């Protein structure tokens, strides 16, 4: 059986929480932040994500977002789907959520 690819070698996107609202956000190609992973800029792997992450960290210093980091995604689907279960929940919301957003 073929070995699963390492998470670091997977395509990546940058995520963070929006400082004011706390919402989960993703860095876009235009270096803005979107609440939809659909809009996220996707890079080939962690190494390629370095510049993206640097941009995100600069924005964290400007008090736009908190604690940005790279996450691996399956980029063969649209929108890209996070690999880790925690990140799927962050992207899609609580699995038990039945309440409308304010």
Residue 77 near other proteins by CB under 8 A = no
Instruction: With contacts defined by CB under 8 A, name the span among 26-34, 37-45, 47-55, 85-93 that binds other proteins.
Output: 85-93
- Among 8, 9, 32, 84, which residue sits at the site for other proteins (rule: CB under 8 A)? 84
Q: Does 53 bind other proteins (CB under 8 A)?
A: no
Residue 79 C-beta: closest distance to other proteins, Å = 17
What's the per-residue H, E or C state across the chain? Answer: CCCCCCHHHCCEEEEEEECCCCCEEEEECCCCEECCHHHECCECCCCCCHHHHHHHHHHHHCCCEEEEEEEEEECCCCCCEECCHHHHHHHHCCCCCCCCCC
Residues that bind other proteins (CB under 8 A): 17, 19-24, 60-63, 66-67, 83-86, 89-90, 93-97, 99-102
């Amino acid at each position: 059986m073929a070995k699963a690819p390492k998470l670091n070698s997977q395509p990546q996107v940058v995520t963070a929480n929006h400082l004011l609202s706390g919402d989960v956000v993703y860095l876009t190609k235009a270096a803005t932040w979107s609440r939809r992973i659909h809009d996220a800029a996707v890079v080939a792997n962690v190494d390629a994500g370095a510049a993206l992450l640097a941009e995100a960290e600069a924005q964290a210093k400007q008090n736009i977002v908190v604690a940005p980091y790279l996450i691996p995604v399956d980029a063969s689907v649209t929108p890209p789907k996070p690999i880790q279960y925690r990140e799927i929940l962050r992207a899609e919301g609580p699995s038990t959520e039945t309440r409308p957003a304010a």
